[in-house]
């Protein structure tokens, strides 16, 4: 059994890497290429925006960057749902990625709510 990853940034990075592996299962046609590009950018962007959030000086800036993380994760979630319903790509990987996405989104939302409570 794999050791669970508890640090949020490590989870986002692992998620982005898992997306890269998943993208390799997409067909080499117009649809596959479109979603390959889309989820590759949105999943990677969530990790990068979280990195930027860690360097913010104010709660307001942190909240703004975290809302970008949430936006990118939700964008990835919708794209995976489209692929799932279209039966495109590795379906088992989609299920795994979707479960992790739910947790990553929940954690990010909780961070924003906690930070808002401190304002």
**pLDDT tens, per residue, the chain with 119 residues:** 455 557 999 999 999 999 999 999 999 999 999 999 999 999 999 999 999 999 999 999 999 999 999 999 999 999 999 999 999 999 999 999 999 999 999 999 999 999 888 76
Whole-number pLDDT of residue 116? 87
Whole-number pLDDT of residue 1? 40
Q: Report the CATH architecture of 8-117.
A: Up-down Bundle (1.20)
For 24-56, letters b (16+ CB in 10 Å) and e give: ebbeeeeebeebbebbbebbbbbbbbbeebeee
pTM of the model: 0.90
């Amino acid at each position: 059994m794999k050791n669970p990853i508890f640090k949020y940034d490590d989870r986002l990075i692992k998620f982005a890497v898992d997306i890269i592996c998943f993208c390799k299962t997409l067909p080499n046609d117009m649809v596959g290429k479109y979603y390959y590009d889309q989820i590759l950018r949105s999943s990677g962007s969530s990790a990068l925006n979280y990195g930027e959030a860690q360097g913010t000086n104010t709660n307001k800036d942190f909240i703004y960057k975290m809302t970008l993380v949430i936006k990118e994760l939700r964008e990835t979630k919708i794209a995976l749902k489209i692929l799932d319903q279209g039966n495109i790509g590795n379906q088992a990987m989609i299920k795994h990625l979707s479960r992790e996405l739910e947790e990553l989104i929940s954690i990010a939302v909780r961070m924003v709510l906690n930070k808002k409570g401190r304002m």
